[in-house]
Amino acid sequence: MKVLVLNCGSSSIKYKLFDMDHKEVIAQGGIEKIGLKGSFLKLTLPDGGKKILEKDIPEHTVGVEFILNTLISPEYGAIKSLDEINAVGHRMVHGGEKFSESVLLTQEVLDAFTACNDLAPLHNPANLKGVNAISAILPDVPQIGVFDTAFHQTMPDYAYLYAVPYELYKKYGVRRYGFHGTSHRYVSKRVCEFLGVQPERIITCHIGNGGSISAIKDGKCMDTSMGLTPLEGLMMGTRSGDIDAGAVTFIMEKEGLDANGVSNLLNKKSGVMGIFGESSDMRDLENAVAAGNPRAILAEKMYFYRIKKYVGAYAAALGGVDIIVFTGGVGENQCNCRSEVCEGLEFMGVKVDLEKNKVRGEEAVISTDDSKVKVVVIPTDEELMIASDTMAILNK
């Protein structure tokens, strides 16, 4: 059984082709700059090397067709025929309150998904383009939607509601939805398998250019840091995270910004980029900290502090914590992020072994043997989760 997983953004398409009989990736890559000059497909070769194939890709259907043709090409192909693709699983960003689990994509489901476009105007239409492209090229292949927001649908109302007039929730669905749900679900499940334990009180930290934290009890999400949109919560690469709404209206008045202007400010010019001022990349920030750049040092302190604060808050919300998981590009690879976040949490029973913490991108327990709380690194695999959900739905 071969499952193609697609993650379509506004100007990009990432893909992985899985042989699910062996749960292995047999092809992967991504298209960038769709609709722009210099568009290309970057794929991973069998020996781990990379190959860039340049092509004019004006829109998503052409991009999907390019990916499919590459998968069966004599030079770079992983399969002989498109008939070998048994199903396609899609990352779908915002399912609102309509979807609490992955589903077979019927016209009824797609209509309900389209109705959520106001909640994710950049992401949802792009996701839909990928679905439509597959429908046009491979009309008989079943397609499955896996929603970023679905895992968080178990949050209780007192956790997901905002303290604004209730009518705004009823009229427009204004509430906390959360994102990175597929990642939080994968690592919270995988860490239990890795440690050989039943689901307990787990705090999952998905830390990357975008970041979010979830409080999970008995396998169910009880709270998460992102909100109606991915802007709320942690300080991120270019997103501000939590900010006083009064500060937002103050800035709007002082700077003469409209809604689009303030959205651009908070989503694209803030976070690490806003404080450091030179880059939103954590590797650049780390190098600047090492060089003694004071703005970089400030940005890093703010970044780590916000994570620590949420971990403490969610430990309180869960009535304690048994496992803390780090994942995402920064969480998996940046040792000092993990050690700085955990420093000072000894009162909660958290003790990190600095030697064990010297890991990058691999599953590992990094807490001391006598730590009451297990601190674990689990690399995320959202694509495998999507492929697994696709298989599960097809086998029902």
Indicate which residues carry an active-site annotation. Answer: 148
Other Cβ atoms within 10 Å of 360 Cβ, number: 11
Residues 110, 4: Cα–Cα separation, whole Å: 19
Torsion, Cα of 327, 148, 66, 54 (10° steps): -50
* DSSP three-state, residue 65: helix
Sign of the torsion angle spanned by Cα atoms 42, 46, 49, 53 = negative
**Chain centroid to CA 350:** 26
Output the CA–CA distances (angstroms, integers) from residue 114 to 92, 121, 228, 342, 349, in the order listed: 11, 10, 17, 41, 46
CB 41 within 8 A of CB 53: yes
CB 376 within 8 A of CB 191: yes
